[in-house]
Structure 1
Amino acid sequence: MESKLVQGQQVPEYLPLPSLECIEVPKIFDWVLKVTQIVDESTIDPALCLPLPSSYRVEVAVLDVESVEKPGSIRENIVVTVGTTPVTLQRVIIRKSGTYEVTIIDTSVVPNVVHCRYTKSFVRFEKVLLCAPPGTDVNVHIVPTATRIEVLDVVDDTFVNVDIVICQSIQVTAIVKLIIEAELCQPRQEIPIPENPCVVTFPPQCPDIFPGVPYPFPT
């Protein structure tokens, strides 16, 4: 078997040249970013919040969101045309569930105070076309930095309508075995941490006046 010299090692070491290796890795069959908008209505909690203050404002915040392929659902084959080529994809049902918090602030007093706070859950389903043949897994990751919620309106001091925007990264994967050309890896050499040199310094002196004659000593 041929071998090569590994560069950068304190002691020369010889390793085999690249060879064919069999590895097991997750293969990505499809990957999309999908933004979903949900309009949801919550009933103002009568036990906690009524009666309402004479003036108030409503604040909302998403507490958690989960998105998965609907358990037990069947992926239906759908033929679509991409360019001029017919392609068979699968219609996947995604189940989204989550909880948001509604806070009513009493603005009739200064400083403003929290009048009441309650939570509301929601569940929604949506269909997505993916390359998701049998044997693949659909994994959905919620992008929290791109997920937001805002108050649309308050109806009759009874209902709070909110708009929830959810950003999802949807990947279809399966574990596959691949033959690749590869070579063994070696650790790199350690990079030392830069250190400040230890230097002793003295204040500037005045040799012209001190120590004076007979310095410098006559030769």
Structure 2
Amino acid sequence: MERKLVQGQQTSPEYLPLPSLECIQVPKIFDWIVKVTQIVDESTIDPAACLPLPSSFSVSVELTSVQAVEKPGSVRENVVVTIGGTTLTLQRVVIRKTGTYLVTITDTSVVPNVVHCTYTKSFVRFEKVLLCAPPGTDVDVTVIPSGTTIEVLDVVDNTLVNVDINICQSIQVTAIVKLMVEAELCQPRADIPIPENPCVVTFPHQCPAIFPGHPYPFAT
């Protein structure tokens, strides 16, 4: 059998067979999209913490948590679509998005400005997306923080705060499959020893000229 040298070995050379067919088990991606979802949410100003409001104030918001998953217990409905002249059967998948955000009202009638009150609001939204998600596949949704934002739209009658939330999400459909691939078997690399400091025994400096002196007691 033809053999070849494994490059990069730090020990004595070893030889392995050429690539052969191997059966491996890996997650296969059936579909993948990146989707931005816009949510307009309304929160009632907390009367116990915030009322009455200052004569002059500003409102800011901050997302504290966002999650997105396929709705538990939902049924994937088949939908027939035509793409590029080809008829395909895809699945309508329901995604549930939940999260919380912090509302901060700042009193701007005094200098320096001070925080008047804060309160937390939760939200839940559902959306449907078309995916290649046949039975036996999993839908994994990952929220991308860098593309997820929130901002105040307006304050209505000093009672309601409307916010605009944009959620950037990566949606993948995966399943564990077995694949036949051409590959080479791997070998562990050579061990790299940890440098050790030498163990040396030393003695204090001696003064042989004065001690034990001359002649030595054992001199003949």
Whether contact under 8 Å (1:56, 1:108) holds in the other structure is: yes
| Displacement of 1:189 | 7.5
User: 2:129 is matched with which residue?
Assistant: 128
1:3 aligns with 2:3: yes
Partner SS, residue 49 of structure 2: helix
Show the counterpart of 1:115: 116
SS at match of 2:146: helix
Superposed CA offset, 1:100-123 (max 9, x none):
000000001111110000000000
Structure 1 unmatched runs, 5+: 192-219
Cα separation, 2, equivalents of 1:148 and 1:179: 43
Deviations 1:82-138 (A, max 9, x none): 011111000000000000000000001111110000000000000000000000000
Distance 1:125 1:7 in 2: 54
AA in 1 matched with 2:179: L
Where 2:26 maps in the other structure, the secondary structure is strand
Cα deviation, residue 143, structure 1: 0.2
Q: Counterpart in 1 of 2:46?
A: 45
Q: Which amino acid aligns with 1:7?
A: Q
State the match for 1:147 in structure 2.
148
Q: Deviations over 1:29-84 (max 9, x none)?
A: 00000100000000000000000000000000000011000111100000111011
What secondary structure, in the 3-state scheme, does the structure 2 residue paired with 1:102 have?
strand
CA distance in 2, matches of 1:59, 1:7: 59
Distance 1:46 1:123 in 2: 22
Cα separation, 1, equivalents of 2:152 and 2:124: 18
User: Please, what TM-score do these two structures have when normalized by structure 1?
Assistant: 0.84
Q: What CA distance in whole angstroms lies between the structure 1 residues aligned with 2:46 and 2:8?
A: 69
1:8 and 1:189 in contact (8 A); partners too: no
- Tell me how far apart the structure 2 counterparts of residues 2 and 135 of structure 1 sit (CA, whole Å): 42
- In structure 2, the residue matched to 1:206 is none
- 1:29–1:132 contact (8 Å) kept in structure 2: yes
2:189, 2:79 → 1: CA distance?
50
Q: For 1:133, what is the secondary structure of its paired residue? A: coil
Q: Does 1:18 align with 2:25?
A: no
Deviation at 1:187, TM superposition (A): 5.5
Shift of 1:8: 3.0
Q: Any residues of structure 2 matched to 1:55-204 within 5 Å, and which?
A: 55-186=56-187
RMSD: 1.5
Instruction: Report the Cα distance in structure 2 between the residues aligned to 1:183 and 1:58, rounded to whole angstroms.
Output: 61
Give the CA deviation at 1:3: 2.2
CA–CA distance in structure 1, aligned partners of residues 178 and 43 of structure 2: 49
Aligned positions, number: 191
Following superposition, the deviation at residue 5 of structure 1 comes to: 1.3
The equivalent residue for 2:37 is 36
Deviates more, 1:34-43 or 1:5-14: 5-14
**Could you tell me the percent identity over the aligned residues?**
79
Distance in 2, matches of 1:111 and 1:177, equals: 65
Structure 2 regions of 5+ residues with no counterpart? 193-220
- State TM-score, norm by structure 2: 0.84
Residues of 2 paired with 1:155 and 1:173: CA distance?
44
- Return the offset for 1:11: 1.2
* Greater displacement, 181-190 / 100-109: 181-190
Bigger shift: 27-36 or 2-11?
A: 2-11
Runs of 4+ off more than 3 Å: 186-191
